Amino acid sequence: MAVGRPSTEAQINEVCKHAGVERDTVQNFFNRPGLLSPSTRQRVASAVAATGYRPARRTRGSLSGVRIGYELPRSWTTPSPVMLEQFEALVSEVQDRRGLVVPFVVQPEVPGVNDVGGGSAAERDDPGLRLDGWHREYARTLALPTYHEAMKAHKLRAFVVNDLQVDDQRLAGLRKEGVAYVALGRPRGSDEDMQHPHVENDNARGIIEMINLMEEAGCVQFMHLGFDDDGSNVPPARRDTISDRLGTIPQKRIHYQNSLHPHRSEVESTARWISEHAGADAILCDSDAIAYIAHQAATLAGRGTTRSKLTPRDHDHKPLMLAGNDNSFYRTLVEPDQQWMTMQGDKIGLMRAAVDLLESRLSGKDENAAILMPPEIVGAPGRPSDAITKIA
């Protein structure tokens, strides 16, 4: 077989049989080898050599003329750094293939309220909070019709669906209508048999790795300072990961918008919570913004924070070890020796995988692949604050 000529369907099946792997693993071997273990890479390499398999290479312009829809949150006044970076990476990846990303918003209007935010019912009913953002529960009823309008107005052929909700009606609707789509994040819902094509940063793997590193540094008793439920998958998924690994531990929740602009009362209540659990060694935080609140509260409570291996100290005043998420600018607001451990996803790799999967669906393949991208750990205990630790 000539070098570089794409192989047949039977030949890729032969590679899978030789290596004892699935098709997705063979595709990852050529496109995202970092996702595979050394032993798996070796098995696939041997099978490729034995069969003479050659992949069909992606060509520049493979999405020429294709318009892809991407829903933005209603409010960009305080954009999520992660979502903003994902959007920029998606635009770059699609443009490299000569496609076009068309952003749009689902804009719910509630009489008498200028800008309704998500959160608990009590928070939504409290006009004094002036929540920024958009009301998820109201917006979800408008989402699918808005997608239809966007398809007609902009001639969209596919969607990258982000900011997932439990039992997300957008995914179910697009699937039913045969529209190509890929979800960012693992869909969650009551129907466990309903599969959707998706890519995600494997945050669960990152959280578990950070817990392992904290335990190696001497941490025994943990607490969790996380996001309040907002209708999305994120808060419950992180709570499930932590409880599966550590069991029941003290928890406190903070609304997303309040984490970005915390009132003094938020820091004070967190300090009281820390004081109530004087035996705790570490706090797992859902974001770096929350970790910054935990740092301020720990200082106010007389505990302080550290990234060094814990040593025996006064029981009520030993420093706390923190773990965050997103590797955002909040870490730079404290001294390097107090910058908490965090993790960061491969946003460029994530969007490349999403667009690869979207291309496959546009070509007529009904692939419900699940692609997990392991994050990197930044500033592990005992290492420099900017040191990167790969997850094996």
pTM of the model: 0.68
For position 231, what pLDDT does the model report? 66
Contacts of 240 (CB under 8 A, 6+ apart): none
pLDDT above 90 as % of the chain:
41
Note the Cα 155 to chain centre separation in Å: 29
Let me know how long the chain is. Answer: 392
SS (H, E, C) 76-143: CCCCCHHHHHHHHHHHHHHHHCCCEEEEEECCCCECCECCCCCCCHHHHCCHHHCCCCCCHHHHHHHH
> CA 366 to CA 362: how far, in whole Å?
9
For position 216, what pLDDT does the model report? 94
For position 361, what pLDDT does the model report? 87
> CA 154 to CA 133: how far, in whole Å?
25
Write out the two tokens for 392: 């094996």
User: Interior CA angle at 190 toward 176 and 240, to 5°?
Assistant: 130
Q: How far is CA 93 from CA 72, 98, 236, 244, 281, in A?
A: 17, 9, 30, 36, 42
3-state secondary structure (DSSP) of residue 207 = helix
For position 379, what pLDDT does the model report? 95
Question: Which CATH superfamily, name and number, covers 67-202+347-375?
Answer: Response regulator (3.40.50.2300)
> CA 138 to CA 146: how far, in whole Å?
13
3-state secondary structure (DSSP) of residue 314 = coil
Q: Answer for the pair 25, 19: CB distance below 8 angstroms, yes or no.
A: yes
CA neighbor of 15 nearest in space, from 42, 51, 39, 40 = 51
Contacts of 160 (CB under 8 A, 6+ apart): 68, 69, 70, 90, 101, 181, 182, 183, 184, 354, 355, 358
pLDDT winner (highest mean) among 3-7, 45-49, 136-140, 207-211: 207-211
Chain segment 24-83, per-residue pLDDT in tens? 788 777 766 667 777 887 788 778 877 777 666 555 567 989 999 998 865 544 556 677
Q: Which residues of 152-178 are buried (b: 16+ CB within 10 A; e: fewer)?
A: eeeebbbbbbbbbbeebebbbbbbeee
Domain 9-51 has what CATH class? mainly alpha
Instruction: For the chain, give every residue range classified as CATH 1.10.260.
Output: 9-51
For position 295, what pLDDT does the model report? 97
Q: How far is CA 203 from CA 123, 180, 206, 356, 368, in A?
A: 28, 26, 5, 21, 20
Q: Which residues of 264-282 are buried (b: 16+ CB within 10 A; e: fewer)?
A: eebbeebbebbeeeeebbb
> CA 175 to CA 193: how far, in whole Å?
14
Confidence of residue 117 (pLDDT cuts 50, 70, 90): very low
Fold annotation for 203-344: Rossmann fold (3.40.50)
Q: Is the pLDDT of residue 370 over 60?
A: yes
Which region, left, alpha or beta, applies to residue 113 given φ > 0 means left and ψ of -120 to 50 means alpha? beta
Environment class of 147 (CB within 10 Å of its CB; exposed 0-12, middle 13-18, buried 19+): buried
Instruction: For the chain, give every residue range classified as CATH 3.40.50.2300.
Output: 67-202+347-375, 203-344
- What count of other Cβ atoms lies within 10 Å of the Cβ of residue 298? 25
